Amino acid sequence: MKKILAGIVLVGMMTGLAQFTGCNDPEPDPCKEIESLAGSFTMGERITNYGGVDTVIVSDTVITENFVVFRADTTYESYEWKIGDDLRTFTSREVSLRFMQPQSSVQIRLIAKWKPNKTCFPQDDGVDTVYKYLTVVDKKLNPIFGKYEGALVSNPIDFYTVEITANEYFDRFTITNINKSCEVINGLVPMRFGYKIVSISKHETANFYEGLCKNPIGWASIDHAGNQLVALYSVGNGSRTTSETNRSSEKFIGKKY
């Protein structure tokens, strides 16, 4: 009889404890998954490849005549851009402009406004002003121009020279020998340029497929000091008639001289 009573008492205690614990569960925090807003934006050069793909290279230094993109990092209720000495006020999330002349310390200002969440962030006033500064370099003085002696990572003892140049009008940029002994018309491989970076793009001319050229597609860039070139690209099999779905990757590293 004592054992039965003890069992009843124990069950009653456990039930009461469960009820007591349940009554003290904390309420879910409505602000736990909410982040406070702040004004921020990204800027950089838009490089359009021959395939029509736009790529924005994030940077605070660009070259003349390229389109430069200014894009708010978050969707706000309103945007107010002032860019350099441009008299216009831009009000879209993204602005794209070209700078035709070299400039230093171009001031970019964004005033972002949103509906403040006073419940979670009592100090939020719903507005933020952000400044960044842009440097525009004459495209003729792009430090990526020059000759680079190096080798493929896959064959590090076979040295050769890659050269990046432009024509006399600086409206055509070229890279030669990206694959060793790649001989194409005028020694040109088509590309698009940014500050210290180039896009090596696919072209629909047979010469870019022949021999050792193998239709290179990728990017080449130099380091902060401007002394080392790294080219990351893929190549086909040298034939237009065979599928290029199984392209192989290459990496060239060279020093400027």
pLDDT of residue 27: 76
pLDDT of residue 235: 83
Percentage of the chain beyond pLDDT 70 is 77
* Position with higher pLDDT, 145 vs 27: 145
pLDDT of residue 3: 43
pLDDT at 96 over 60: yes
User: How do the domains of the chain map onto residue ranges?
Assistant: 41-140, 146-256
pLDDT range class, residue 86, cuts 50, 70, 90: very high
What's the mean pLDDT when you consider all of the chain?
82
pLDDT of residue 253: 98
pLDDT of residue 236: 77
pLDDT range class, residue 29, cuts 50, 70, 90: confident
What SS3 class is residue 237? coil
pLDDT of residue 211: 59
What would the pLDDT profile of 160-213 be if each residue is shown by its tens digit?
999 998 878 777 777 888 888 776 544 455 568 899 999 887 555 545 555 567
What would the pLDDT profile of 42-84 be if each residue is shown by its tens digit?
999 998 765 567 889 999 999 999 999 999 999 999 999 999 9
Low-confidence winner among 57-61, 138-142, 178-182, 230-234 (lowest mean pLDDT): 178-182
Burial label, 84 (beta-carbon count in 10 A; 0-12, 13-18, 19+): middle
pLDDT range class, residue 4, cuts 50, 70, 90: very low
DSSP secondary structure code for residue 4 in this structure: H
pLDDT of residue 34: 82
Please tell me the pTM assigned to this model: 0.79
What is the Cα–Cα distance from 222 to 195, expressed in whole angstroms?
A: 9
Q: Which CATH superfamily is domain 41-140 in?
A: Immunoglobulins (2.60.40.10)
pLDDT of residue 223: 95
What average pLDDT does the segment 137-155 reach?
95
What average pLDDT does the segment 79-100 reach?
97
What average pLDDT does the segment 235-248 reach?
68
pLDDT at 11 over 80: no
pLDDT of residue 30: 77
